[in-house]
């Protein structure tokens, strides 16, 4: 991920991936690589491929945006002139690479409940799409434990409150009071939503911004 400050001192992010086979990875001399092609992608694609989690600003400042299903456009880059830049840098309207927020998202959580923390913690998932959503095969994870499997059905505009935060298959979430993250994935394993938080006061419900 390349980050710099361009026109008007605005943060700009460019994310690239290189596809390498086993022979290329074993090659200690980079000049012998045959495939130098770079692919410019959404920041979420780098998260998918590496397991890393980036701050939301590195998503929103990338001109290539993930769609609501966790995918997004891929641009082949063979030279610097082919790199996609923010439309705002050129003062146009940004219609080529719009930011498409997911209509299914992690809406809120009680991270630091009063009393029994494990029993009191909860997370809510919202469906703001126009269709009923079957959550079978979806997962919610905290990056440290086995993901929780979801199986409920959400009507349009409905919110599902998850409590307790564990499932019979061994999936479990622990919401760290001093900061953590949650990742919602669809049945294909794509990241649909990801949220982060810092230290949370006792008894306070955290509302996550879906946009």
pLDDT at 1 over 70: no
Mean confidence (pLDDT) of the chain = 79
The pLDDT, as a whole number, for residue 36 is 63
The pLDDT, as a whole number, for residue 17 is 83
pLDDT at 211 over 70: no
Higher pLDDT, 37 or 27: 37
Dihedral angle at the C-alpha atoms of 163, 181, 140, 51, nearest 10 degrees? -160
Lowest mean pLDDT, pick from 28-32, 54-58, 80-84: 28-32
Dihedral angle at the C-alpha atoms of 97, 99, 100, 103, nearest 10 degrees? 180
Residue-wise pLDDT for 116-157, tens only, equals: 888 999 999 999 988 999 999 999 998 788 899 999 999 999
The pLDDT, as a whole number, for residue 61 is 79
Higher pLDDT, 33 or 108: 108
What is the reported pTM?
0.60
pLDDT at 89 over 50: no
H or E stretch at 32: none
Token digits for 210?
A: 């879906």
Higher pLDDT, 190 or 177: 177
Instruction: Evaluate whether 146 touches 124 at the Cβ level (below 8 Å).
Output: no
User: In the chain, what are the helix, strand and coil shares in percent, each to the nearest 5?
Assistant: 15, 30, 55
In the three-class reduction of DSSP (H, G, I as helix; E, B as strand; rest coil), residue 63 is classed as coil
Produce one character per residue of 65-88: b if its CB has 16 or more CB atoms within 10 Å, e if not. Answer: bbbbebbbbeeebeeeeeeeebeb
Q: What angle do CA 172, 144, 191 make, to 5 degrees?
A: 85
């Amino acid at each position: 991920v390349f980050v710099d400050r361009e026109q008007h001192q605005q943060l700009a992010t460019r994310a690239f991936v290189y596809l390498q086979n086993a022979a290329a990875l074993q090659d200690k001399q980079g000049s012998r690589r045959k495939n130098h092609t770079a692919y410019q992608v959404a920041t979420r694609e780098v998260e998918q491929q590496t397991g890393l989690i980036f701050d939301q600003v590195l998503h929103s400042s990338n001109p290539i945006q993930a769609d609501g299903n966790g995918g997004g456009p891929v641009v082949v880059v063979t030279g610097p002139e082919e790199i996609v830049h923010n439309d705002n840098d050129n003062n146009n309207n940004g219609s080529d690479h719009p930011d498409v927020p997911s209509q299914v998202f992690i809406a809120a959580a009680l991270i630091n409940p009063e009393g029994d923390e494990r029993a009191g913690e909860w997370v809510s998932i919202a469906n703001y799409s126009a269709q009923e959503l079957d959550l079978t095969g979806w997962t919610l994870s905290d990056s440290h434990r086995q993901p929780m499997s979801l199986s409920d059905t959400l009507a349009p505009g409905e919110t599902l409150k998850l409590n307790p935060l564990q499932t019979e298959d061994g999936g479990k979430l622990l919401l760290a009071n001093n900061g953590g993250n949650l990742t919602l994935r669809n049945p294909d394993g794509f990241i649909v939503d990801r949220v982060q938080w810092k230290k949370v006061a006792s008894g306070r419900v955290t509302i996550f911004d879906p946009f």
